[in-house]
């Protein structure tokens, strides 16, 4: 899972990044409201870890930004401001959980997994976009009601993008998410390009009205009709 940690306390920030990275999370950093909003405007994150008290303003501003842009991102507030008012305000603005400082990193890790698991596709067992329906449990893909056969990695890639419609996905993040530890066995991304080429061809030939477009110099983005 890809996380955005928004925390200005350097020592705590480093501790969280180091620990969660060892747990297998991909953690990106922001230290203030401005840099956080810049990152959220460009990238998708499975979960945001948000401190309220930031040097250039309140972290609640970031929640307001997410609400205005209708961005569907999980948010856990991690703040020393553990008053009832701040907690209620944060939850009303769309935060999924609240963890008051000080906390154990192991608890934070468990909370992240919990909120992401709860939110994934709202508990549904299928992802849909346009005339495309992907059934997670049965590993079946239907386009315009007709079943289409995909290889395992093709299925995993399509599912990854259906969970993140409209968001740019870095090819290295995609590789790590789909291939995991095996990505260190190669020096380039030819295996990603090959799988993407085959998947995009199958979608096009089957008449899918979604498209996974290349973003030059970055990666890919799923475009819905």
Both 104 and 136 in one domain: the answer is: no
Instruction: Answer with the one of 76, 100, 121 that is the final residue of a domain.
Output: 121
Looking up residue 192, the CATH number of its domain turns out to be 1.10.10.10
Exposed, middle or buried: residue 96 (CB in 10 Å: 0-12, 13-18, 19+)? buried
Instruction: Answer with the one of 92, 121, 150 that is the final residue of a domain.
Output: 121
Both 115 and 43 in one domain: the answer is: yes
* Full DSSP string of 74-135: EEEEEES---HHHHHHHHHTT--EEEESS--HHHHHHHHHHHHHHHGGGG-SEEEETTEEEE
Q: What is the pLDDT of residue 88?
A: 83
26 vs 110: CA distance, rounded Å = 15
Q: What is the pLDDT of residue 203?
A: 96
Both 136 and 102 in one domain: the answer is: no
pTM: predicted TM-score of the whole model, two decimal places: 0.60
Distance in angstroms between the alpha carbons of the first and the last residue of the chain: 27
Q: What is the pLDDT of residue 16?
A: 95
Both 115 and 131 in one domain: the answer is: no
Both 162 and 71 in one domain: the answer is: no
* Full DSSP string of 141-168: EEETTEEE---HHHHHHHHHHHTSTT-E
Q: What is the pLDDT of residue 209?
A: 94
Instruction: Answer with the one of 98, 121, 144 that is the final residue of a domain.
Output: 121
Per-residue pLDDT in tens (0 to 9) along the chain, 225 residues: 789 999 999 999 999 999 999 888 889 999 999 999 999 887 778 899 999 889 999 999 999 998 887 667 899 998 876 566 777 888 888 898 998 888 889 899 988 988 887 776 555 567 889 999 998 767 889 999 999 999 988 998 998 898 887 888 888 888 877 776 445 555 567 888 899 999 999 999 999 999 999 988 888 999 987
Both 23 and 112 in one domain: the answer is: yes
Domain that includes residue 161, residue range: 124-223
Looking up residue 115, the CATH number of its domain turns out to be 3.40.50.2300
Q: In this structure, what are the phi and psi dihedrals at residue 46, rounded to the nearest 5 degrees?
A: -70, -30
How many domains, the chain? 2
């Amino acid at each position: 899972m890809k996380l955005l940690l928004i925390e200005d306390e350097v020592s705590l920030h480093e501790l969280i990044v180091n620990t969660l990275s060892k747990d297998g999370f991909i953690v990106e950093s922001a230290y203030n409201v401005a840099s956080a909003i810049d990152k959220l405007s460009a990238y998708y994150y499975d979960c945001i870890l948000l401190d309220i008290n930031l040097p250039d303003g309140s972290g609640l501003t970031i929640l307001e930004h997410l609400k205005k842009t209708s961005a569907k991102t999980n948010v856990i507030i991690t703040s020393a401001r553990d008053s009832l008012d701040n907690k209620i305000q944060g939850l009303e603005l769309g935060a999924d959980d609240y963890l008051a400082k000080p906390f154990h990193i192991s608890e934070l890790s468990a909370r992240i997994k919990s909120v992401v698991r709860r939110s994934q596709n709202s508990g549904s067992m299928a992802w849909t976009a346009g005339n495309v329906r992907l059934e997670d449990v049965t590993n079946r893909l239907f386009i315009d009601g007709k079943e289409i056969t995909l290889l395992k990695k093709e299925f995993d890639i399509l599912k990854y993008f259906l969970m993140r419609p409209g968001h740019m996905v870095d090819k290295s993040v995609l590789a790590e998410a789909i291939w995991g530890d095996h990505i260190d066995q190669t020096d380039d991304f030819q295996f990603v390009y090959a799988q993407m080429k085959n998947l995009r061809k199958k979608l096009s030939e089957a008449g899918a009205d979604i498209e996974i477009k290349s973003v030059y110099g970055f990666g890919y983005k799923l475009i819905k009709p």
